[in-house]
Structure 1
Amino acid sequence: MSTTLDTTPSDDLGVPAARRRSAELERSIRERPGRFRALTGDRPTGRLHLGHYFGTLHNRVRLQNLGVDMMVLIADYQVLTDRDVADRLTDHVEDLVLDYLAAGIDPDRATIFTHSAIPALNQLLLPFLSLVSVAELGRNPTVKDEIAHSRQSAVSGLMFTYPVHQAADILFCKAGLVPVGQDQLPHLEVARIIARRFNNRYGGTSAPVFPEPEALLSAAPLLLGTDGAKMSKSRGNAVDLAATADETARLIRGAKTDADRHITYDPVARPEVSSLVLLAALCLDRDPHEVAGEIGGRGAAALKATVTEAVNERFAPIRARRAELAGDRAHVRRVLRDGNERATVIADATLGEVRAAMNSLY
């Protein structure tokens, strides 16, 4: 069999096609959720914030509650993609577990695990790297963006190859679903290409070793930070899930708005005001136009008061649960240990299949 690498991405993960397929997948999930396994996760670089909750956490809990087998990765090795050292890593990992549990991730129905604790997952990186070219990695638009915004003075090998590491994350557990935003489609395409090439090169006439994972595109709302820029852990412009009611009020009081006293919902013309309106609407489960209409001419102060009250009311139970869990760090570590053990069993089995397919069992 030829070993020439096909360098043209497939068309089946273009955004319009991915959206159509996501709608089909949602229908299938509702009908037979137990057929699906999903892989999702975060880098442990700080506490999660409201943007994470409405962008990903809420959806993970939804899928879990529908009956999808959820694999939730804490990507501790990938902290090093854009920084020289992983500062306060233990604290950040435990904070992520606390945020997950408080938000509703159930460790009896979801597997929470870390990169560094699963040797077989990381060993898959080696054969997977042989299936992609340097040119393909260099063309990946998300990698280009990450490199442009890197904190490092030089591009590390981990930064350059982390889409392949992400492919190992997805394929080690044979996840068929990956909830992503459309900006992550190029990474998922790398995983699909690697699965396809491995099956073609080593699969022979038997059943394929790896499924080609599919994108479950999220309709994640765009929430800006309090400074009007993208909400980010590193910018200090976000309201953490763990924030107190007083901290929330202080942060929202300082949020950027504009000079127009009449409050409207117009994300294009008034992004900062509209982001605050949207945050209140999400917390209240209401239409943002209605929320804006009720505030009307009462100005930014009334808007911020509405947002503060809505956020604090919506997240009070989550914050109380998180505070309770934070008092029992031994439980947090047990959750992680149990998840790592389950993920290790899966990874060892997959690596065994890979080695058998590659005729490297000796």
Structure 2
Amino acid sequence: MGIERPTTTTYKICVGSLRECLKEMALVRGGSLLLSFAVVLCMNLAASASQIRVGYYAWSCPKAELIVKKELNKAFKASPGIGADLLRLHFHDCFVGGCEASILVDSTKDNIAEKESPPNETFEDEVFDVIDTIKKRLESTCKRTVSCADIIAFAARDSVVHYGGKYYSVPSGRKDGRKSLINETIDLPPPTFNLTQLTALFALKGLNRDDLVTLSGAHTIGVAHCPSFADRLYNYSGTLKGDPSLDYVYAKKLKRECPPGNTVNEVDMDPQSSLTFDSSFYKAVTTHRGLFTSDQTLMSTSATSYKVYQYAKNPNLFKKAFAASMVKMGKIGVLTGKQGTVRANCRVINYS
């Protein structure tokens, strides 16, 4: 089947609105990603991303990143695992409307915000409280200068480093968005997606399959709630049985920790080292101990499984690649200049 060439009007829609573009261009046809759309989207991402840079606050707020780091160190002492959620916060922000801090916005009587969606309800209040604390410190030092979106990006980087990952310079200069809608969280990749589905979704964000394999390594830290993988234990693909690809011993352990119907319990995503940023996640995946379907599916092609084996054997290779993919992800749909704003309160939208 041939690929239709988008009209000039379609290009304008693509640049202006992802959702309208999907409707107009029919994203997937016969299981293949529409190449022309991906090219246009990547052009749009590059145009915005080119306006952010490392050292953006060198003159306007030179201590910005130091303030973030100091406040995070206090948070790590009070709650050792909070960095995993701060890293996840960056993912969930960037994948929904771009890296513009929409995930931090509170709902109002007139609008239900992103944080109310099921994928985001698992964030503890302390995660948002930490961002609030950092923002207050920055506002007292550099009023209306450092965006909430950049705070999230800095906090994610510092969390990776705290657990043993590689330091990377974060391009900054993002502005905060002026909307946060619960229905837009459909862009978040669910843990039940297979490789084809994940690849298509990542391509929409300007990320390739190598980025997918690499960024999945974030699951080397943190915990998961039982409902996010219960289908693999009790009703895989509607069979009323467990996922046959899941290691039997590991499955028994998970069933003990997550009995049928449990919605409260949590398990470590990487039981071997849940608070260490290493490559043991990939070792688990090679032995059929990936917690999510979206984890284990990384072994479903020769190209992705090769990358998994590479990372499993070479932690430094993984850490370097993860840092690069994080910088790339942090450029998704960024707002710069007058496209956005700098919120004084990360929970409240500035409409002016």
* Greater C-alpha radius of gyration: 1
TM-score by length of 1: 0.29
Higher relative contact order (CA 8 A, sep 6+): 2
TM-score, scaled to structure 2: 0.29
Structure with the higher strand share, 1 or 2: 1
